[in-house]
Amino acid sequence: MTEKSRHRSHRRHSPARAAAFALGAALPVATAVAIWVTGRHHSPEYTTSLFGAQGADAVTLKARLGTALFGLAVVQLLLALWMYGRLPGLTGTSRGVRISHRVVGWAAFLLSVPIAFHCVRTYGVETTNTRVFLHSVAGCALYGAFVAKVLVVRSRHLPGWTLPAAGGALFAAIGVLWYSAALWAINGFAAPGL
């Protein structure tokens, strides 16, 4: 074994890499579980307002905000694909694409906070039917995936597949949230398959 391959093998199995991977797995799960436990033990306050809207008006507003959030997630996904050269016809990435990816990501996160706050405060985490259960799980997973993505982006010790996995989980959570609530509300309280 050459000195270079021994060094590469040591880097792959180093304690720092193992600790980063363990933290990268435990913290997102702990975040999702903490939101789930908080939501399950919270007494729903059905009169909570969202930017002054209550009841059916709040549901309509959340559906619109959720649709905007899903739109930002699609833009975020397209920017990520562009950055990594996965879009046909678009090669090379500029600093502007990377900055736009970050700005859109933070805008999506900030847009999600009032929606999530209203959901948890108004309803808590519910498991009354398939749609509501799926929505509750996806809501908790969203913030776990967000924590994972932030950790993965900042780490130099994790395998390369972890960033697309975290980003994909984040996009999937937003998609499921949109499908199980925003689309459901916009579509006359019906979503295909739910």
pLDDT in tens, 58-75: 999 999 999 999 999 999
128-146 pLDDT, tens digit each: 999 999 999 999 999 999 9
Bridge partners (DSSP) of residue 50 are 53
* pLDDT computed for residue 13 by the predictor: 63
Percent of the chain with pLDDT over 90: 66
Tell me how crowded residue 36 is: count the other CB atoms within 10 A of its CB. Answer: 18
One-letter amino acid at 124 equals G
Q: Cα–Cα distances in Å, from 27 out to 16, 61, 142, 143? A: 16, 31, 13, 11
* pLDDT computed for residue 11 by the predictor: 52
pLDDT band for position 18 (50/70/90)?
confident
pLDDT band for position 6 (50/70/90)?
very low
One-letter amino acid at 22 equals A
Element (H, E) at 37: helix 15-40
* pLDDT computed for residue 123 by the predictor: 93
Higher pLDDT, 118 or 91: 118
Report the range of poorest mean pLDDT among 6-10, 11-15, 54-58.
Answer: 6-10
Please state the domain extents for the chain: 13-186
* pLDDT computed for residue 24 by the predictor: 66
- Report the C-alpha gap between 65 and 174 in whole angstroms: 12
Two tokens, residue 137: 């799980």
145-181 pLDDT, tens digit each: 999 999 888 877 778 888 899 999 999 999 999 999 9
- Report the C-alpha gap between 131 and 127 in whole angstroms: 9
User: What 8-state DSSP symbol labels residue 181?
Assistant: I
Q: Cα–Cα distances in Å, from 48 out to 54, 63, 66? A: 6, 16, 18
78-107 pLDDT, tens digit each: 999 998 888 888 776 788 899 999 999 999
Let me know: does 75 contact 121? Beta carbons within 8 Å.
no
28-48 pLDDT, tens digit each: 999 999 999 999 998 889 999
- Report the C-alpha gap between 71 and 101 in whole angstroms: 13
